[in-house]
Structure 1
Amino acid sequence: MEQALLSWIGALTSIRTEVFWVLGATLSGLVSIHVLLRKREVGAAIGWIGLVWLAPLFGSALYALFGVNRVTRRAQKLRIKPSQASPRRADGAPPPPPVLPERFQPLDQAVRRITSLPLEAGNRIVPLRNGDAVYPAMLTAIREARHSIALSSYIFRKDEIGRAFLDALEDAHHRGVAVRVLVDGIGSGYFFASVYGGLRRRGVPVGRFMHSVLPWRMPFLNLRTHKKLLILDGTLAFTGGINIADENRVASHPPDPVRDVHFRIEGPVVIQLTAAFASDWAFVMDQELEGPAWFPPLAPRGETQARVVSSGPDADLRKIELVVLEAITCARTSIRLMTPYFLPSEVLVSALSLAALRGLTVDVIIPMDSDHAVVDWATRAHVDPLLRSDVRIWLDDPPFDHAKLLVIDDAWCFIGSANWDTRSFRLNFELNVEVYDPGLARHLDAFMKEKMSVRLTREHLSRRGLPVRLRDAGVRLLLPYL
């Protein structure tokens, strides 16, 4: 009897093992098919296929969470409506065509095709430094708004400055202004989103970008909206790198200060910024923003030519990265960039290296110590090809600077929310503004030059001990998700 029972248990175990093996192989096969059909990068495809065959359940779960792009927007939510297609000037005249030096015309043509947006003339763009200058200007604009307010922020904390924004938005809502607020579903708190709850209790329309408390409806933890955008009455906008948090008020000496640059924008390009917000609002809330409160006639406000470039893991995939690549290719004399996190793709590394090899001055400014030590470790293991090609990498002294700037040939600027890493260029929803303005370019160039005092060299990196080099190289393998 005992022998028969053992035989029966053995047979059952064998059958169960075979069933699990068949299920695992089936699951691995299905995931592999999906990877082969959807993943364009060979390295990523090989990595995912290897993982799901080595660990079918664990690998498939990870792929479902981080490898599948489920972010699709309906066609009508992506299509810019006729009322948004081009600025209507107050005098009824059509917008003038862009006037650019001959050397920038190929860049303009390429970016026009990448974005399907025109380069708009007649704008005024003013840089603002740190929350000390940015927040008072934004709060004043909110208090003076008469028709509409659109606000999107990756981080929006309910600290002292956050409560000031909450009060200003509530006051605007109660005086009849159409207020719409978007906060990221993770960046502004996944479990305890106090700002989101505070706005809802005050009756202010607010949405959380890609958030759900149900795990099976939250398969895109790594796809976030990183945009920082405030638009008032469809005529005045603020955008750049600054979130809403006390740490950005450097003059108040917070425990962990964060320096940054933001921009005040007026003119016809504001309609492109509003259209970008309207697309996000439709995606999150399934509501359209239309009419003169959001898209009024716009008059020229300055001499700057500008265009919005948005990107995300949907129909806008890689647009910011492609614009950066085209700008690097078109550069003739100099490329100077500043970013808080520097983990560019191999394609961008090659583009910068080739620019330096053909004689351009290429400067990259990164923090000496960012707010993410793991990113700093990976960066040290990532930059050797650039240093070999005479790209100059500079370490900015603390406190941490979160600014994202690119200036090419002292005439072309790229400003906004995108960092120089795969997360910003491939995963996040980002918004940058392309600017042709020699005056602004010279201002930003001078600002960056002040930070070029400590240079990172190959000799410095070679002095790291073997354990540190191994740590940095190992962390670098996580590059797509850092």
Structure 2
Amino acid sequence: MEQALLSWIGALASIPTEVVWLAGATLSGLISIHILLRKREVGAAIGWIGLVWLAPLFGSALYALFGVNRVTRRAQKLRIKPSRPNPADRAEEPEGPPLPERFRPLDRAVQRITALSLQAGNRIETLRNGDQVYPAMLAAIGEAQHSVALSSYIFRKDEIGRAFLSALEDAHHRGVAVRVLVDGIGSGYFFAAIYGGLRRRGVPVGRFMHSVLPWRMPFLNLRTHKKLLIVDGALAFTGGINIADENRVATNPPEPVRDVHFRIEGPVVAQLTAAFASDWAFVMDEDLEGPLWFPPLGPCGETQARVVTSGPDADLRKIELVVLEAITCARTSIRLMTPYFLPSEVLVSALSLAALRGLAVDVIIPMDSDHAVVDWATRAHVDPLLRSDVRIWLDDPPFDHAKLLVIDDAWCFIGSANWDTRSFRLNFELNVEAYDPGLARHLDAFMREKMSLRLTLEDLSRRDLPVRLRDAGVRLLLPYL
């Protein structure tokens, strides 16, 4: 075998230089054409073209793995069939009170972005950390009579993971239709313990964009980041919490992660179920239809809400566009909290302009997140915001993974999306917008408690030169952090 390998290397070495150069130039030229036709962002297009010409083989391989979006075709092919009733258009959906005049442009814009109508008659309850969230979710699974749909980016087979595994197995054995989606990387690429455990127990489970076949691996950079549980098509949980022991803060885990999750009832749950059904069809090529998954839903609260999904398919940039529209429509205040803060230049400009026109703009980020590289890049990224009087606050440890946005003390945006390019452009995400002054006041008070230590321009200028160079260098990876 060694002799054969040496012969193969010798054969490659004997290829004329002109042939090698011509092959590399041809490959680079073809890929450059693809980039020019497919990449809308000028900076990304220039970067990829430069890479494939400087290193044709290496650059082409990287572009094939991380630069080509093949999801659009597959997502459209497997999207829910038109025969499914549109939950947003049901005749029995209640009509809510008219929105205040200042929010009507935002409502019109989001309806056009999402093609979903605002749903009245919902109730949204805030739950803090896994200590409150997991018992409520497990109880709901235990009481399920018809269906359980669960999607999670991280689903570990630790103590709480095994509790969910048992609850899902029990529901399956008593005749409940159970469907579980886990991310193909977030929940383990090589050793997916939960996935294997569910399969061995006969519970239908899918792995989102996972394959060990080399020709099916260009999806490594595109993940489902959604956290969603829907029981009997009528009760939903969503927000930022994965399924892992680290979220049970009261048990004092080695690296605790605080977070916020939401319990939702009302007509908007049908939109959440439709989002899960679309993902399930995408992964498993099975439609979820009928009253088992989409029962009639009456009003049970006063909140008007709508689901906003986003991903590198037909939903590209929808969450980012909704955020931009909300910032543009804001009149008095913008307050947001996110574990990772690396917004695009467009969002940086929008926040800066909001502060310059006199709005109170507050951004709350962790003092130290669970990804030091992101913290470094953030310090090199926020200078324009601070110069525009956007106030950035550092939250004390332990790390808080909550993602919240409140506009004008009335409009809320909650869910799985962080404020970075990965969430806005690469990941499959799910957020919920809610017009609810009561919920807004509650979330606003929660965020205000964290506004004690302010990051200033002086703090950034005191960094040593090597640190500033490190931070600025890492910031170049912004599209993939």
The interval holding the TM-score normalised by the smaller chain is over 0.9
The answer to whether the 8 Å contact 2:76/2:314 transfers is no
Alignment of 1:68-467 (within 5 A): 68-72=68-72, 73-75=75-77, 77-78=79-80, 81-86=83-88, 88=90, 93-96=92-95, 99-467=98-466
Aligned to 2:151, what secondary structure does the other structure show? strand
Aligned to 1:86, what secondary structure does the other structure show? helix
CA displacement at 1:56 relative to structure 2: 0.5
| CA distances 1:61-119 after superposition (whole Å, capped 9, x unpaired) | 1111110101121356145644233365xxx7453156200110000000000000000
The answer to whether the 8 Å contact 1:170/1:204 transfers is yes
CA displacement at 1:220 relative to structure 2: 1.3
CA displacement at 1:16 relative to structure 2: 1.9
**Runs of 5+ unmatched residues, structure 1:** 1-11
The answer to whether the 8 Å contact 1:336/1:364 transfers is yes
Please tell me the residue identity of whatever aligns with 1:442: R
Q: How many Å separate the matches in 1 of 2:355 and 2:76?
A: 42
The answer to whether the 8 Å contact 1:224/1:428 transfers is yes
**In the superposition, relative to structure 1, how do residues 76 and 14 fare at CA in structure 2: closer, same or farther (>3 Å)?**
closer
| CA distances 1:131-177 after superposition (whole Å, capped 9, x unpaired) | 00000000000000000000000000000000000000000000000
Aligned to 1:306, what secondary structure does the other structure show? strand
Aligned to 2:304, what secondary structure does the other structure show? strand
Match in the other structure for 1:4: none
**In the superposition, relative to structure 1, how do residues 437 and 94 fare at CA in structure 2: closer, same or farther (>3 Å)?**
closer
Q: How many Å separate the matches in 2 of 1:191 and 1:336?
A: 40
Match in the other structure for 2:63: 63
Please tell me the residue identity of whatever aligns with 1:226: H
**Runs of 5+ unmatched residues, structure 2:** 1-11
Please tell me the residue identity of whatever aligns with 1:22: L
The answer to whether the 8 Å contact 1:87/1:268 transfers is no
Q: How many Å separate the matches in 1 of 2:93 and 2:176?
A: 29
Q: How many Å separate the matches in 1 of 2:93 and 2:407?
A: 30
Please tell me the residue identity of whatever aligns with 2:34: H
Give the TM-score normalised by structure 1. 0.96
Please tell me the residue identity of whatever aligns with 2:52: V
Match in the other structure for 2:26: 26
The answer to whether the 8 Å contact 1:354/1:389 transfers is yes
**In the superposition, relative to structure 1, how do residues 332 and 23 fare at CA in structure 2: closer, same or farther (>3 Å)?**
same
**In the superposition, relative to structure 1, how do residues 79 and 320 fare at CA in structure 2: closer, same or farther (>3 Å)?**
farther
| CA distances 1:12-42 after superposition (whole Å, capped 9, x unpaired) | 9685211110110011001100000000000
Q: How many Å separate the matches in 2 of 1:94 and 1:417?
A: 26
The answer to whether the 8 Å contact 1:98/1:120 transfers is no
The answer to whether the 8 Å contact 2:266/2:298 transfers is yes
- CA RMSD across the alignment: 1.5
Q: How many Å separate the matches in 2 of 1:247 and 1:14?
A: 57
The answer to whether the 8 Å contact 2:367/2:395 transfers is yes
Bigger mean CA offset, 92-101 vs 296-305: 92-101
The answer to whether the 8 Å contact 2:96/2:304 transfers is no
CA displacement at 1:216 relative to structure 2: 1.8
CA displacement at 1:192 relative to structure 2: 0.1
The answer to whether the 8 Å contact 1:182/1:209 transfers is yes
Give the TM-score normalised by structure 2. 0.96
The answer to whether the 8 Å contact 1:98/1:119 transfers is no
Q: How many Å separate the matches in 2 of 1:222 and 1:75?
A: 21
Please tell me the residue identity of whatever aligns with 1:51: L
Aligned to 1:370, what secondary structure does the other structure show? coil
Please tell me the residue identity of whatever aligns with 1:468: V
CA displacement at 1:213 relative to structure 2: 1.2
Q: How many Å separate the matches in 2 of 1:330 and 1:81?
A: 36
Count of aligned pairs: 470
Alignment of 1:33-44 (within 5 A): 33-44=33-44
The answer to whether the 8 Å contact 1:267/1:302 transfers is yes
Q: How many Å separate the matches in 1 of 2:242 and 2:305?
A: 23
**In the superposition, relative to structure 1, how do residues 368 and 180 fare at CA in structure 2: closer, same or farther (>3 Å)?**
same
Aligned to 2:348, what secondary structure does the other structure show? helix
Please tell me the residue identity of whatever aligns with 2:333: S
Q: How many Å separate the matches in 2 of 1:281 and 1:199?
A: 16
Aligned to 2:79, what secondary structure does the other structure show? helix
**In the superposition, relative to structure 1, how do residues 309 and 13 fare at CA in structure 2: closer, same or farther (>3 Å)?**
closer
**In the superposition, relative to structure 1, how do residues 145 and 360 fare at CA in structure 2: closer, same or farther (>3 Å)?**
same
CA displacement at 1:368 relative to structure 2: 0.1
**In the superposition, relative to structure 1, how do residues 124 and 97 fare at CA in structure 2: closer, same or farther (>3 Å)?**
closer
Q: How many Å separate the matches in 2 of 1:152 and 1:175?
A: 21
| CA distances 1:171-195 after superposition (whole Å, capped 9, x unpaired) | 0000000000000000000000000
Q: How many Å separate the matches in 2 of 1:416 and 1:340?
A: 13
User: What is the percent sequence identity of the aligned residues?
Assistant: 87
Aligned to 1:399, what secondary structure does the other structure show? coil
The answer to whether the 8 Å contact 2:235/2:269 transfers is yes
The answer to whether the 8 Å contact 1:185/1:209 transfers is yes
Please tell me the residue identity of whatever aligns with 1:401: D
